[in-house]
Amino acid sequence: MVAAPRVPTPAAIRCPGCGGNIELRGFSHTRSAVCVQCSTIIDPSTPELTILQRFDDRMRVQPIIPLGTRGKWQGTLYEVIGFQVRTINSDGVDYSWHEYLLFNPYRGFRYLTQYDGHWSDVIPVHGLPAFTTMSGRKAASYNGTVYAHFQNARAETTFVMGEFPWAVRVGETNVVDDYTAPPYLLSSEVTEDEVNWSFSTYVPADTIWHAFGLKGAPPPARGIYVNQPSPYAGKAGKAWSTFIKLLLVWGVLLAWFVFSASNREVFRHAYHFAQTSPGEHSFVTDVFQIDGRGNLEVELRTDLNNNWAYFNLALLREDGSQGFDFGREVSYYSGRDSDGAWSEGKARDSVTLPRVAAGRYYLRIEPEMDPQASAQAASGMSMNYEVVLRRDVPSSWLFWLALPFLILPPVVTSIRAAAFETQRWAESDYGTNSGSGSSGGDDDE
């Protein structure tokens, strides 16, 4: 058998409407060819060039990718041979998207769709998606992925250009259901006697501009599109897992910090104080040795009740080279009223001096009490108290200060991810905007 000769480029046809030339690119696949001059749709597969429709072209739209443009797309050379505008109407507002029909004589047809600067690559689905539910909403399952139902709409073909392998007509409507699992979209189109499924993948406009050698920059995408991948997708989860890891490190460091601190007592002494006794109330303790390095905690334990005391304290080096002056107020009040028992303050107080060099030290202590307190307090103007000094106590406040900084990134990422999804779903049948329709892409900056 002799091999058939190379398939010739289809000859242009003469429009039966206006006599203009109609170039053909789809070989004998073409069932509809549009005359741009007189907006007539012709079936070039019929010898008499049957007119399928003359349509109102007031809605004329210029395709961004000119018909006849070729480009290597998904590894295959494709030519743009058809262009159609499809429109859905939601509460009186029209939303239109553009469909570019791509053709390769060996690999057939596929589409590019464009809405508000968002592009998708579309191929037919040969399998039969199954209907299911997801979080109580309609969903479709296909190839192991569940797609959440986004919207149901009646789509009308509002403008056509170029050629198509089926009989296309302006004004024809189909019921379209979109199911999303970004960056993928599963769509069903119901015609009179069958359901057609298609599978879209969100593609950055740049890749299309590059593949088809288009001039200039693609129009910026506005709003968030149904299958636009979230820049936060997976990031919230990652941020949380990072947080968990950091938290573990944090915990280990904290434990090490606490357990490695020597926390030993270097001084302890009990005293009695009475405000009424005459003379200078300040006194100095015996000299004691502070070894090693780190901080020093000064703790005051009193038996104050419904009373307060003030301590002027100074930790002084025996050789006079260094001194720490500080004051602490200790107060404790308690009682019972109509609401029950209450208390305020504490009878003990402690303060940590951050860095105290090793050496020999003594304390100067000057307690002070309220002369008026004697009237109310049973203890009058006296108290017993104890001073305890501990060397190298664990201080974890820095750790607790760091904790909010650790948790901030995952929380912020989660909030942003949720906000992105909220904006995406606002345009769906389940969103806040679905009833108004007025807050579509046009309002977005």
Residue ranges in contact with another protein by CB under 8 A: 1, 3-4, 6-9, 26-29, 31, 77, 104-109, 124-130, 142-143, 165-167, 193-195
Residue with tokens 């593949």: 211
Rounded Cα distance, 121 and 113, in Å: 7
- Rg (C-alpha) for the chain, rounded Å, is 41
Rounded Cα distance, 155 and 189, in Å: 9
The nearer residue to another protein, 130 or 284, going by C-beta atoms, is 130
The nearer residue to another protein, 130 or 253, going by C-beta atoms, is 130
Distance of CA 199 to the CA centre of its chain: 26
Cβ count within 10 A of residue 282: 13
The nearer residue to another protein, 146 or 351, going by C-beta atoms, is 146
The nearer residue to another protein, 195 or 284, going by C-beta atoms, is 195
Closest contact distance (angstroms) between CB of 79 and another protein is 9
The nearer residue to another protein, 70 or 348, going by C-beta atoms, is 70
Beta strands (DSSP E) in 55-136 are: 70-73, 76-90, 93-104, 108-115, 118-124, 130-134
Residue with tokens 């108004």: 436
Closest contact distance (angstroms) between CB of 224 and another protein is 30
Burial of 270 (C-beta count, 10 Å sphere; 0-12/13-18/19+)? exposed
The nearer residue to another protein, 61 or 167, going by C-beta atoms, is 167
Rounded Cα distance, 209 and 322, in Å: 74
Closest contact distance (angstroms) between CB of 215 and another protein is 23
Rounded Cα distance, 308 and 331, in Å: 4
Closest contact distance (angstroms) between CB of 443 and another protein is 40
Rounded Cα distance, 82 and 45, in Å: 16
Closest contact distance (angstroms) between CB of 33 and another protein is 14
Rounded Cα distance, 364 and 374, in Å: 26
Closest contact distance (angstroms) between CB of 67 and another protein is 15
Question: What DSSP state is assigned to residue 58?
Answer: T
The nearer residue to another protein, 16 or 108, going by C-beta atoms, is 108
The nearer residue to another protein, 144 or 404, going by C-beta atoms, is 144
Closest contact distance (angstroms) between CB of 440 and another protein is 34
Closest contact distance (angstroms) between CB of 117 and another protein is 30
Residue with tokens 């149901």: 152
